């Protein structure tokens, strides 16, 4: 199907490009892209602490924190659900704050303290939040679960620190752990299996125990 004539025409002006394909209308822009690809593939040495352990990596600058964890450190507990900051499956704690690891480059975390789901607890010695998720069946397929758990641990700290949310009624009063607050603050973590009702119960139990 590849006739040279067709190729010629396409080189001049008939190229159609897909969403995943770059429109290239001339040889000039083609070389531009090659240059930028080469430039972008430079790497940086980064060192940070992951789950209490000092880690050093030489990484392509384009590597997200998520891929650094999953593909380079083989900490695959942190999940990739969208790679676009739309689902929360990749939630980890960076210096104690929750972050979508797919939306941030690894090189931006030099010297930081990263905690992943593997760092919270393990089978046999579960973190209380992990145990509460098991107890309340706060998951089904389990793919959103590490993100839900990391997110909920950090979320309770945010309430403790009196950081208000969209549903906080009185900004002067201390923030409270209510189902409405939990649901609002956890809404960045999608669960397509629909375990929300159980997740809120798990978090509520832990929040109550803490208070």
Partner 1 sequence: MRFDTPAMTNPIDQGKVVGQRIHRIDGPLKTTGRAVYAYEWHDSNGRYVYGYIVGSAIAKGRIRSMDVSAARNAPGVLAVVTSDGIGDLKKGKYNTAKLFGGTEIQHYHQAIAVVVAETFEEARAAAALVKVDYAEEKGAFDLEAAKDTAVKPEEGEPDSAAGDFDAAFETAAVKFDQTYTTPDQSHAMMEPHASIAAWNGDELTVWTSSQMIDWWRTDLATTLGIDKEKVHIMSPFIGGGFGCKLFLRADAVLAALAAREAKRPVKVALPRPFLMNNTTHRPATIQRIRIGAERDGRITAIAHESWSGDLPGGGPEVAVQQTRLLYAGANRMTATRLATLDLPEGNAMRAPGEAPGMMALEIAIDEMAERLGRDPVDFRIINDTQVDPEKPERPFSHRNLVGCLRTGAERFGWQDRSKQPGGRREGNWLVGMGVASAFRNNLLVPSGARVRLDREGIVTVETDMTDIGTGSYTIIAQTAAEMLGVPVDKVAVSLGDSRFPVSSGSGGQFGGNCSTAGVYAACVKLREAVAQKLGFNSPDELTFSGGEVRAGDRRMPLAQAASDEALVAEDRIEFGDLDKTHQQSTFGAHFVEVGVDVATGETRIRRMLAVCGAGRILNPITARSQVIGAMTMGVGGALSEELVVDTERGFFVNHDLAAYEVPVHADIPHQEVIFLDESDPMSSPMKAKGIAELGLCGVAAAVANAIYNATGVRVRKYPITLDKLINGLPEVS
Question: Please, which residues have CB within 8 angstroms of residue 177's CB and are 6 or more apart in sequence?
Answer: 156, 159, 204, 207, 208, 211
Q: Does 28 bind partner 1 (CB under 8 A)?
A: no
Contact predicate 32/39, CB 8 Å = no
Which of these segments, 28-36, 115-123, 138-146, 201-209, binds ligand FES (CB under 6 A)?
138-146
- Residue 100 touches which member of partner 1, ligand FES, none, C-beta under 5-8 Å by kind: ligand FES
Contact predicate 112/170, CB 8 Å = no
Question: Residue 184 Cβ, how far from partner 1 at the closest point, in Å?
Answer: 5
Q: How many other C-beta atoms lie within 10 A of the C-beta of residue 168? A: 18
Residues of this chain, 60-119, that bind ligand FES according to CB under 6 A: 80-83, 85-90, 100, 102
- Residue 41 touches which member of partner 1, ligand FES, none, C-beta under 5-8 Å by kind: partner 1
Binding-residue total with partner 1 (CB under 8 A)? 89
- Long-range Cβ pairs for the range 159-163 (8 Å, 24+): 159/185, 159/207
Which of these segments, 93-101, 107-115, 130-138, 170-178, binds partner 1 (CB under 8 A)?
130-138
């Amino acid at each position: 199907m590849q006739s040279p004539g067709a190729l010629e025409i396409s080189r001049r002006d008939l190229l159609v490009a897909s969403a995943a394909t770059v429109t290239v209308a001339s040889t000039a822009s083609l070389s531009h892209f090659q240059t930028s690809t080469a430039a972008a593939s430079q790497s940086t040495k980064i060192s940070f602490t992951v789950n209490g352990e000092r880690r050093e990596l030489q990484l392509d600058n384009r590597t997200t924190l998520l891929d650094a964890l999953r593909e380079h450190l083989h900490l695959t507990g942190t999940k990739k659900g969208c790679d676009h900051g739309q689902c929360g499956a990749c939630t980890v704690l960076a210096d104690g704050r929750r972050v979508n690891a797919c939306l941030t480059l690894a090189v931006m975390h030099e010297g930081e303290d990263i905690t992943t789901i593997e760092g919270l607890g393990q089978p046999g010695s579960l973190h209380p939040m992990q145990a509460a998720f098991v107890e309340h069946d706060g998951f089904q397929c389990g793919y959103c679960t590490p993100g839900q758990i990391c997110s909920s641990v950090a979320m309770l700290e945010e309430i403790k620190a009196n950081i208000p949310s969209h549903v906080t009624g009185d900004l002067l009063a201390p923030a409270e752990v209510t189902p409405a607050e939990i649901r609002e603050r956890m809404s960045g973590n999608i669960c397509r299996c629909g375990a929300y009702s159980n997740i809120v119960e798990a978090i509520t139990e832990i929040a109550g125990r803490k208070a």
